[in-house]
Structure 1
Amino acid sequence: MNDTASGATETDYSATLFLPETDFPMRAGLPDREPVWLQRWQDMDIYALQREQAKDRPLFTLHDGPPYANGNIHIGHALNKVLKDLVSRSMQMLGYNSAYVPGWDCHGLPIEWKIEEQYRARGKDKDEVPVIEFRQECRAFATQWVDVQREEFKRLGIVGEWDNPYLTMSFDAEAQIARELMKVSMSGQLYRGSKPVMWSVVERTALAEAEIEYRDYESDAIWVKFPVTAGAHRDAAVVIWTTTPWTIPANRAISFSSRIACGLYQVTAAPEGNWAKVGDRYILADQLAAEVFAKAKVEAYERRADVGAGELASIACAHPLAGLAGGYEFAVPLLDGEHVTDDAGTGFVHTAPGHGLDDFGIWMDSTRLLRERGIDPAIPYAVDDAGFYTKDAPGFEGARVIDDNGKKGDANNRVIAALAEHGNIIARGRLKHQYPHSWRSKKPVIYRNTPQWFVYMDKPIEGAEGDTLRARALNAIDRTKFYPSAGQNRLRAMIADRPDWVLSRQRAWGVPITVFVHKQTGEILKDEAVNHRIAQSFEEEGADAWYKPGAARLYLGEAYRAEDYEMIMDVLDVWFDSGSTHSFVLRNKQKWPYLKFPASMYLEGSDQHRGWFHSSLLESCATNGFAPYDSVLTHGFTMDGEGRKMSKSMGNVVAPQEIIKQYGADILRLWVASSDYSEDLRLGKEIVKTTVDAYRKLRNTLRWLVGNLAHFRKEDVVAPADMPELERLMLHRLAQLDEGVRAAYKDYDYRKVVTLLTNFMNIELSAFYFDIRKDALYCDPISSMRRKSALTVLDLLFNALTAWLAPILVFTMEECWLERHPEPGSSVHLQLFPHVPAEWRDDELAGKWQLIRAVRRVVTGALEIERREKRIGSSLEAAPKVFVADPRHIAALDGQDLAEIAITSAVQIVEGDGPAEAFRLEEVPGIAVLPAHAEGRRCARSWKVLPEVGSDPDYPDVSLRDAQALRERAAAGL
């Protein structure tokens, strides 16, 4: 009992109110509760239920780009997998059969390294271990990490075919990868060639462009003169500049450009003992001459003559190491090349065809010219796989470019010393620049000419009437949808400029390059019967079958002699493995009948334009003629809260496991959905805190909604036409939201989904509709149409909000759904997005209520001051006078209960501007409010202050509305 102002007692009517009733807790406890839902989904096999439920719907296939199975997942994995889950779940709820088959990349160097590290720790020599035994250890290692990552991904709430994933090391996958390679071979696209490739000395293998990253590196820079021995200006020297002095022994030419103006320059003053001496004559690009002389510490020089392109083409030079060990006594020609610029250097490019793609290209294009000039076009193999100079680098054999730890060897210093001794170096320095490194070992790589297996980019494909792989790939890109659209141009530029695809790796753990080469002719054996035997053995035994004794004889059969053929022992680049996944996943209808080819979407980080998107495109175009995907979605990388790259050394790494442990996976999922994934995403303590706060608001809104629905009865459903305007306004907003949310999900714009729904729930529901309707829901009689209408709307809101948020907050929406639908087999994830009738949309009504809400905003602003100054306790103690000067607002308010809308006990509306002291808001002109106290007594049940309180003989301490509610409850036995 409470004391009233008059000293009388007041009955406690709280038990007669329809207050919210729910077990849905305010505190989420996600770290403890989420595993409960995971176990429930596993027990009911929700993924299988989704497949059965959607079996007749159109297919949507997001094909999983396989993560590498060699460690715990990091925040980048979490971002990627959550985004994929958002796509897959939302497309399922939009009405598709959206299956998700996860996969893993299991072959390759990093796993080999781990096994080799274990060997070294035990003093075991890898070369003494049979290759099949070694491969089995690699397989076991990958299996272990697949199991670990599988559980970590599941903990994120990712729904998928976890018990039947794809693995690139499964026997059927290895067989299909081999088949795809043999298709490429049969179409004449595969060849063995000698070409400079990115070579990792540390890892002892060739690398693809996708395996390269560029890092700061300090290189030695030298300016070297090549004395002219034939043609014009024999008293001069052509000067080159290079940041790879170790490639000078492999130099075979100098490249120039006929578009660049060059001149003959003479040194007229230089310090005593300087490398560049008075009287020296150099041929240089005019644009760069001053810079070269500055580097060479030349005090004065003169330009003596023009040197035209015709003169340059006639020149031959001596090698700057001529006379050293008798190995450089050959002419060095000048070749006109499009790759030469005058942006930096000297305008002349040192050309070592074994150590650069441009160098190789111009050398090979000039083969005929070289022979005409009596120059041997053979390319030297100056550096071996361990980074040591070979016999093709006379005078330097045994020196090393890079050691096993990725550090500089002695090659540069020895070459520079020899050039100085021969008087052919004029300057040296250091240059800090971006240099290619292996993205695995993080160590610098070199270009090295080695025999490798390639796929032609520009040779016409056999049986394809002049079609080339590059043309196919470019056409496929033009037919693909990219999110964001800039990805299309990025991938197109990469394909347009890329060299032939190098497939071979000099390692052991992978799918072998399953071809035989005739030892005499060098031709690749093309025989479908042989190919079939290879693939069949892989199906039964895996790729280990290739390494079994007698395998060559088994595969070649009776038609060929094994001793006549070389069995290739290189393995495929793992990008070919993952690039082939479409063939053994998307097209495997026996194993996954609900997947489609091409896939609806490939989704990965933006680095995969040069990785999986790239290799998948080339592989599918090579074997099918078109892309394996209809669309490509890319996301950025994860950064710390300050926008810095996450690094263990900086201590700013945010582990998904830690966020889940402290806050729950739904918080991580909300962060992903709330972020602009097209850019790099930031994640730090403050960002997590902001996400937690946003989640808490959403949860509290849902909790209130569920609590009030405890009083909802299906027999009390009210048709929209019979509802009050406020409820019809909410239906209008649902219709608008349905259109916006569906469109955003279809556009994969999850940030927009979150924005639409959080604004609606926080601003339009919690702070407006729920705030107004609390009184009716709690206090109105059982028979009240207003209360029934509100409950009907709450039911519709619940169905829509839980479904719309289900792809994002997978655990919370399941918990919320089961609060109302706890029956076995029930799940929000078995629902579609609800049908929202378009006829609910009422723009005229919405325009009217926009005016009403503007008036409400002024009233609540005025009352907020009254509360702050403690002139009133709650808004129900007020009965403000509202002055309305705008005829539009007057018309909108006609027939409305503004007291109910503004949550006051009464309101007096007066036409006019109102007195000067009235409260106003600048953004709502024409509305003024004078606060005033409500007259009458306070209702003991609803707390409204009304003159009518006391007029009901049975319930003298409540309003007439509340008295009727009490009578109806009593009649119903409540």
Structure 2
Amino acid sequence: MTDAPTPAPARDYRDTVFLPKTDFPMKAGLAAKEPAILERWAKLGLYDRLREQRLGRERFILHDGPPYANGDIHMGHAMNKVLKDIIVRSQSLMGKDAPYVPGWDCHGLPIEWKVEEAYRAKKLNKDDVPVDQFRAECRAYAEKWVDVQKAEFERLGVMGDWADPYLTMKYEAEAAIVGELLKFAESGQLYRGAKPVMWSPVEKTALAEAEVEYEDIVSTQIDVAFEIVEAPNAPELVGAHAVIWTTTPWTIPVNQALSYGPDIEYVLVADGDHRLLIADALIDSFFARTLPSRHPGGSRDPLIHDGDLGKVGPGVRRGDGEEGGTAILWRGKGSDLADATARHPMHALGGFFAKPRPFLPGSFVTTDAGTGLVHMSPDHGEDDFELCKQYGIDPVFAVDGAGMYRADWAWLGGQGSVINKKFVSAEGPICTDLREAGALLAASDDFKHSYPHSWRSKAKVIFRATPQWFIPMDRSETESPSRLREGLGEGLSNDASLSGTSPPPTPPASGRGADNGATLREIALDAIAATTWIPARAENRITSMVQGRPDWVISRQRAWGVPIALFVDRATGQYLNDPAVNARIVAAFREHGADAWYADGHQALLGPDYDLADYEVVKDILDVWFDSGCTHVFTVEARYGEGTRANLYLEGSDQHRGWFQSSLLESCGTRGRAPYDAVLTHGFALDGQGRKMSKSLGNVVDPLKIIGESGADILRMWVASTDYFDDVKIGKEVLATASDAYRKLRNTFRYMLGALDGFEESERVAVADMPELERYVLHRLDMIDTELRQAAEGYEFNRYTRLLTDFANEDLSAFFFDIRKDSLYCDAPGDIKRRSYRTVLDVLFHALVRYAAPVLCFTAEEVWQARFPSDEGSVHYLEWPLLPTVEVDGAKWHEIRALRERVTEAIEPLRREKTVRSSLEAEVGVPSMPLDAAGLTEAFIVAKVTEGDLSVTRTAFHKCGRCWRHLPEVQTDGELCNRCESVVGDA
């Protein structure tokens, strides 16, 4: 018996298959590659070349809000700057001239505080250092951090004019800032007055609302009795005690009045030796709060309420002469307290404390809490100040800048600080003295509430009336202020520059700011309505803030900033309003910076018409928010022409009370309009669990660490993928999702680069000659293009990125590329189907690399250079793709894709059972035939398609040894199908 002959081994046809070829790596290695790309851009002068290329085009200006030049960037910075860069690059892609000038806030408390910290570490006092030396150290500190942050922002891929950013401490900027201040002064929109402002005793300066954060604390609450000495409308109240409740015991030494609600019902309650005047609605809560203090260890009868006079009252029993009994002795309206007076618990000290305290009607008095009577300290409350001012009661300035009672104050003079918990506690000196005077009804250190703190020092702030400079919200430019020092009174009489009450001169109409008698508030509200707010709900937020905001406090009692360069007449209290003097001030600032104000040249600034001896030189500096509010002047208008305003401002939601508002008010006050056309607000970056990042929680996500490990494009992918109009999360899981989306998009580009290897224009096929699948994909691309452009124009990059990645993953990788890989690998190079596919791939490549460039700025450059290497070229020079408009039956292709999904699902069980190893081994029946059988076989990547009920069986066809398709012409596995035989033979 002879052995059977050994069959010849099947031929390996792999060398005849046209596999994609590319050197573009699957592994990104962004952390290593991106710095080299940045160096190339710098060498190329990418930003400047773009300005040259776009010269004369429609301009799009995103005006950068200035971060403080203080410390390394954090995730909020990174999110903000990346989003700005994506928008600027997308506008450039759409063919516009989109410059981006980054900037920094260089003045102000954050920088000054850091320099002071260095002094304190050396046990030095900042006040002992010459002001010019201290300011020079602040400038050097700011310069250092500008350079650090500049490099960090550039590493994020942010493209801009890094060679010439705007800095608020540049001389031309300081000159512009003081020039804007003087415009307000010339138009009468400036006054000095004493009003309660938020004051930091630690930093010894006024603070803006935007410099304050609120934290929960526990305070001391006290109930204090003021003896009524006069009550013309209710004589029964004389000798009784009006009870007030407060959580700021330190304001009692500055009390000047009591306030009542005219329509509130009050009752006089007898309780032992006390007759107490309290709002009827608050009797129950008052007794519940105070009985333990007034009757320690004792008990009272259960609280019973009977509203009739003479009957049993809340928490008491009928008097009837019974010892310890309590009764309602009087009932009346708050209006009955008109013209009544009480005496201060410390009246025995004489002087200020001996003056009677009038009862004043207050619309703000409610029965929500307390006693229904409110003690008034015009030094330390806005309502207090406004009400007392109506009745001629001025602040007394008893609490100094460090939170101490001034040394000559009769009660607790030289003591404090008023934010010290021990000082104001139930056992502290204030409560001890009130207790000894028999006026303290109750005191407890247990009141929980939210309280303002300085965001820099983290210390509690107080409301404190001090002489400050204000821009009025409700005074028109054509209206002469009643007096320069509105609200200044007792306590400042020793200061000649603040003692008078003469009004400032009424300036001539300047044409700036308010028009037709409109106030700054009215102009600002109109400007808000004329601005586009993104998201739309932001308009309500800033509208309510501007509607309710007080006058703008623009002065600070610090050294590092732009000085309020005004001269105040010592005799009249009026600030000098001379355009020639103002022009000399601006010129001096332009030449020497704001330091010119601290030199010995004030007489030269005044000129020959004025004697310096007659004038006070104002020493306050401007609020840093005024500085940043002027950036549109020395950045947008200075670079692009007077009257130019930004197309877009973009910052976090906290800037509705910060930069958005200060810019708005500055521009409305000097130009009568907003400095922007649109404002976009984004949320805050939170940790992966949705918590605010803090060092104490150990949950800070460092953008520099992410860049160093994964690359900036991963961070950029995350920013673009978030719903950034609200707060967003970032952590390992979130970044892993961004990394996965990035990897899929990168692999799409890698596939296209390989599939387009060697593509030449001679291969290109006209759209009309393409197979229907190619025309359908071009149709889909055209549809996506429209949506992408709409998303970019609406700054919806979450939608933009999702559209791009979904198209790449679902329309291309999972559908088009999957179907056409057979043609790419196995058709002859000159086959029209393969040429059509490669033509469409070329169109797709040019479109997708452009779409990706604003978001993945580094990767898009890498992809572009991989296909079109050039020392001079860049993907970022390109503009939005021009695509062919292709009409196809979209409904038909929707049905084809739906059928394809059903077929794939039906094949999967047979694959798991190993009945078939791939879809190429399956024959399927489908309920409808939107394409002919050959077209559906190709689309479904199966052996055969017939019409009928949905079904899947293993095919009997044999497998081609080259393309692996199962076809009827293949007689045995391994032989070639007709197509492959032709291609191999031709080769």
TM-score by length of 2: 0.90
Query: Structure 1 CA distance, aligned partners of 2:221 and 2:887?
Result: 71
User: Is contact 1:223–1:239 with CA below 8 Å preserved after alignment?
Assistant: yes
Choose 509-518 or 411-420, whichever is displaced more. 411-420
Residues 1:335 and 2:380 are matched in the alignment = no
Choose 197-206 or 333-342, whichever is displaced more. 333-342
Q: CA RMSD in A?
A: 1.9
User: Is contact 1:220–1:244 with CA below 8 Å preserved after alignment?
Assistant: yes
Residues 1:947 and 2:985 are matched in the alignment = no
Q: Residue 880 of structure 2 aligns to a residue in which SS?
A: coil
Q: Which residue of 927, 940, 948 maps to 1:902?
A: 940
- 1:578 is aligned with what amino acid? S
Residues 1:881 and 2:924 are matched in the alignment = yes
Q: CA deviation at 1:253?
A: 1.1
Residue 345 of structure 2: aligned partner: 320
Q: CA deviation at 1:392?
A: 6.3
Matching of residues 664-743 of structure 1 within 5 Å: 664-743=711-790
Residues 1:544 and 2:595 are matched in the alignment = yes
Residues 1:291 and 2:306 are matched in the alignment = no
**1:461-488 deviations in whole A, cap 9, x for unaligned?**
1334322111111111111111111111
Q: CA deviation at 1:713?
A: 2.0
Q: CA deviation at 1:118?
A: 2.1
Q: CA deviation at 1:502?
A: 0.7
User: Is contact 1:457–1:499 with CA below 8 Å preserved after alignment?
Assistant: yes
Residue 527 of structure 2: aligned partner: 476
Q: Residue 600 of structure 1 aligns to a residue in which SS?
A: strand
Residue 872 of structure 1: aligned partner: 916
**1:53-107 deviations in whole A, cap 9, x for unaligned?**
1112111100000010011001110001001111111111122111100000001
Gaps of 5+ in 2: 292-299, 302-314, 317-326, 479-508, 510-514
Q: Residue 674 of structure 2 aligns to a residue in which SS?
A: coil
Residue 978 of structure 2: aligned partner: 960
Query: Structure 2 CA distance, aligned partners of 1:909 and 1:723?
Result: 25
Matching of residues 41-190 of structure 1 within 5 Å: 41-190=41-190
Residue 855 of structure 1: aligned partner: 899
Choose 157-166 or 490-499, whichever is displaced more. 490-499
Residue 503 of structure 1: aligned partner: 554
User: Is contact 2:263–2:333 with CA below 8 Å preserved after alignment?
Assistant: no
Matching of residues 673-822 of structure 1 within 5 Å: 673-822=720-869
Q: CA deviation at 1:303?
A: 3.5
Change (3 A) 1:81 1:776: same
Q: CA deviation at 1:393?
A: 3.9
Query: Structure 2 CA distance, aligned partners of 1:411 and 1:220?
Result: 6
Q: Residue 262 of structure 1 aligns to a residue in which SS?
A: strand
Residue 198 of structure 1: aligned partner: 198
Change (3 A) 1:6 1:830: farther
Residues 1:487 and 2:561 are matched in the alignment = no
- 1:319 is aligned with what amino acid? H
**1:371-428 deviations in whole A, cap 9, x for unaligned?**
xxxxxx232111011111125642211220347xx76545872111111111112122
Residue 436 of structure 1: aligned partner: 452
Residue 265 of structure 1: aligned partner: 269
Residue 274 of structure 1: aligned partner: none
Query: Structure 1 CA distance, aligned partners of 2:185 and 2:906?
Result: 81
User: Is contact 1:735–1:841 with CA below 8 Å preserved after alignment?
Assistant: no
Residue 238 of structure 1: aligned partner: 242
Q: Which residue of 383, 390, 399 maps to 1:365?
A: 390
User: Is contact 1:246–1:411 with CA below 8 Å preserved after alignment?
Assistant: no
Query: Structure 2 CA distance, aligned partners of 1:586 and 1:529?
Result: 26
Q: CA deviation at 1:553?
A: 0.6
User: Is contact 1:452–1:502 with CA below 8 Å preserved after alignment?
Assistant: yes
Matching of residues 372-411 of structure 1 within 5 Å: 377-391=393-407, 393-402=409-418, 409=423
- 1:283 is aligned with what amino acid? L
**1:674-725 deviations in whole A, cap 9, x for unaligned?**
0011111111111111111111111111111111011422112122222111
Residues 1:414 and 2:414 are matched in the alignment = no
Matching of residues 448-463 of structure 1 within 5 Å: 448-462=464-478, 463=509
User: Is contact 1:731–1:841 with CA below 8 Å preserved after alignment?
Assistant: no
Choose 939-948 or 670-679, whichever is displaced more. 939-948
User: Is contact 2:564–2:619 with CA below 8 Å preserved after alignment?
Assistant: yes
Change (3 A) 1:492 1:601: same
Query: Structure 1 CA distance, aligned partners of 2:117 and 2:870?
Result: 53
- 2:159 is aligned with what amino acid? V
Residue 26 of structure 1: aligned partner: 26
User: Is contact 2:62–2:100 with CA below 8 Å preserved after alignment?
Assistant: yes
- 1:556 is aligned with what amino acid? L
Q: Residue 833 of structure 2 aligns to a residue in which SS?
A: helix
Choose 407-416 or 662-671, whichever is displaced more. 407-416
Q: Residue 697 of structure 1 aligns to a residue in which SS?
A: helix
Q: Residue 60 of structure 1 aligns to a residue in which SS?
A: coil
Query: Structure 1 CA distance, aligned partners of 2:535 and 2:599?
Result: 48
- 1:265 is aligned with what amino acid? V
Q: Residue 603 of structure 2 aligns to a residue in which SS?
A: helix
User: Is contact 1:198–1:447 with CA below 8 Å preserved after alignment?
Assistant: yes
Gaps of 5+ in 1: 268-277, 368-376, 914-927
Residue 935 of structure 1: aligned partner: 957
Query: Structure 1 CA distance, aligned partners of 2:274 and 2:244?
Result: 15
Query: Structure 1 CA distance, aligned partners of 2:409 and 2:536?
Result: 49
- 1:499 is aligned with what amino acid? P
Residue 35 of structure 2: aligned partner: 35
Residue 618 of structure 2: aligned partner: 568
Change (3 A) 1:896 1:336: farther
- 1:451 is aligned with what amino acid? P
TM-score by length of 1: 0.91
Q: Residue 638 of structure 2 aligns to a residue in which SS?
A: coil
Change (3 A) 1:548 1:615: same
Choose 329-338 or 607-616, whichever is displaced more. 329-338
Query: Structure 2 CA distance, aligned partners of 1:12 and 1:51?
Result: 56
User: Is contact 2:388–2:394 with CA below 8 Å preserved after alignment?
Assistant: no
- 1:882 is aligned with what amino acid? G
Q: Which residue of 857, 868, 877 maps to 1:830?
A: 877
- 1:881 is aligned with what amino acid? V
Q: CA deviation at 1:538?
A: 1.0
**1:332-353 deviations in whole A, cap 9, x for unaligned?**
1121122222111111111100
Matching of residues 571-720 of structure 1 within 5 Å: 571-589=621-639, 597-720=644-767
User: Is contact 1:654–1:683 with CA below 8 Å preserved after alignment?
Assistant: yes
Query: Structure 1 CA distance, aligned partners of 2:969 and 2:249?
Result: 100
Q: Residue 787 of structure 1 aligns to a residue in which SS?
A: helix
- 1:238 is aligned with what amino acid? A
**1:129-165 deviations in whole A, cap 9, x for unaligned?**
2211111111111001000000000000000000010
Q: Which residue of 239, 249, 252 maps to 2:253?
A: 249
Q: CA deviation at 1:649?
A: 1.4
Query: Structure 1 CA distance, aligned partners of 2:934 and 2:242?
Result: 92
- 1:873 is aligned with what amino acid? R
Q: Residue 98 of structure 1 aligns to a residue in which SS?
A: coil
User: Is contact 1:598–1:628 with CA below 8 Å preserved after alignment?
Assistant: yes
Q: Residue 897 of structure 2 aligns to a residue in which SS?
A: helix
